[in-house]
Amino acid sequence: MQQTAITPPACSSQELDQAVAVIRIAGYDLLADPSGALFWPEERMLIVADMHLEKGSSYAARGQMLPPYDSAVTLASLTRIIARYRPARLVALGDSFHDTRACERMEVNCQEALKTLARNVEMVWITGNHDPEIPSMLPGTRLHKLAVGSLMLRHEPMVREHVLGSRYGEIAGHLHPAARIVTDRGRTRRKSFVSDTTRIVMPAFGAFTGGLNLLDPAIRLLFERDAFEAHVCGKTRIYTIAPDKLRPD
């Protein structure tokens, strides 16, 4: 791995153990990070989904002046977890840009930060419905999907039967899952990974990306009834939660 500057790890390995959750699919162990990123240690691969860069300016162009800092926040978060995991490969799982002109609107520092990022790792851009074209100024490979071992990485998850009938497990994004938890002590709603033994649906990584309740049929029907887990992103760690503790909106 090339790295221009040496950054110390952001936390000790012990802290890391407490923060992440191990998700096992198709025989591989992956680490779910509370930031919403997924790390595959064997492959030294870091995966982020649905960054929606420049969502703020996309709204601004239509008259709603959302703050222009979402790209900077998202990229700073990305930089932090790259420093933590030091991946060889970074896979952006689609909808990295909110629209096809997002990169043109991006502040120059953000553009530069993104280029630097993409230069220092082996960058793979998977295309999504928001970004069918990846801006040409950015280094990296462009793909519709990526097969690694027996896992298929793609933007939009396939229907359940297709995954079961395929020889690949799947890692996908697109749906922005969020978990709602209600107990007699209170309720909360957070972004979340959803997984069973064959697939993971990742939460959105972007600073302005909202979430869809993971009990919504669009997500729920991707999994067998009650045979999935939610890995909910807390402030500093992942909480793994069984389906019966989750509530619809």
Site residues, other proteins (CB under 8 A): 57, 60-61, 63-70, 72-73, 105, 107, 178, 181-190, 207-211, 216-218, 221, 232, 234-237, 239-242, 245, 247-249
Structure tokens, 236:
């500093």
Q: What is the DSSP string of 216-239?
A: SHHHHTTS-TT--EEEEE-SSSEE
| Min separation Cβ 11 and other proteins, Å | 17
Render 161-225 in DSSP notation, one character per residue. Answer: HHHHHSS-EEEE-SS-EEEEEEETTEEEEEEEEEE-SSEEEPPP-STT---EETTSHHHHTTS-T
Q: Which two tokens stand for residue 239?
A: 């909480």
Nearest approach in angstroms of CB 89 to other proteins is 28
Nearer to other proteins, 167 or 185 (CB): 185
- For other proteins, the closer of residues 27 and 234 by Cβ is 234
**From the CB of 190, what's the least distance to other proteins, in Å?**
7
Complex with other proteins: residue 16 or 212, whichever CB lies closer: 212
Query: What is the smallest separation between the CB atom of 184 and other proteins, expressed in angstroms?
Result: 8
Q: Are 26 and 42 in contact (CB under 8 A)?
A: no
**Beta carbon nearer to other proteins, 67 or 149:** 67
92 strand-pairing partners? 48, 125
Which of 163/178 has CB closer to other proteins?
A: 178
- Shortest CB 34 distance to other proteins, Å: 10
